[in-house]
A = this chain, B = another copy of it.
């Protein structure tokens, strides 16, 4: 659907403005669908993001600030997200012995299990969300990478 229809705006100031609006709207479109998928599993999109980062560690612990650096939203509060995931039993947290300021975080079996249950659903959702052929997806990834300087 054209962005003009989606937000009922007849015209944009210029194509730069239209591109910004289009990117913001598209993100909202994606996140709302992801939220619906995650909800039955007790996860928000950002909590899921943290679990994926932990899974990517292959069992090695990672500190809260390293999680923060790898998050999609650099301003989100990794400390509080980790606390939420701990309450749900999806992660464990323990003091790092070499530097007691730091906290080592690892995903639990229960956390791995919820990711496993989500895997196929997310695979499908991604295909549903991105209605482009492979060449176009390559173009899109390229444009987005270059857009950010």
Chain A residues with CB under 8 Å of chain B are 1-3, 6-9, 13-32, 56, 69-75, 122-123, 126-127, 129-132, 134, 136-141, 143-149
Contacts and interface: CB of A to CB of B under 8 A. Distances in A.
A66 B46 CA distance: 29
A105 to B, nearest CB: 15
A27 B29 contact: no
Contacts of A26: 23, 27, 144, 147-148
Given A7-B70, A27-B23, A72-B24, A129 B147 contact: yes
A74 B24 CA distance: 11
B141 A140 contact: no
10 contacts: A3-B141, A7-B72, A15-B141, A18-B141, A19-B132, A19-B140, A20-B130, A24-B73, A26-B144, A28-B75
A147 to B, nearest CB: 6
Given A25-B72, A28-B73, A148 B16 contact: no
Contacts of A131: 146-149
Contacts of A146: 131-132, 136
Contacts of A75: 28, 32
A32 B74 contact: yes
A16 B130 contact: yes
B56 A22 contact: no
Given A24-B27, A139-B143, A149-B131, A126 B9 contact: no
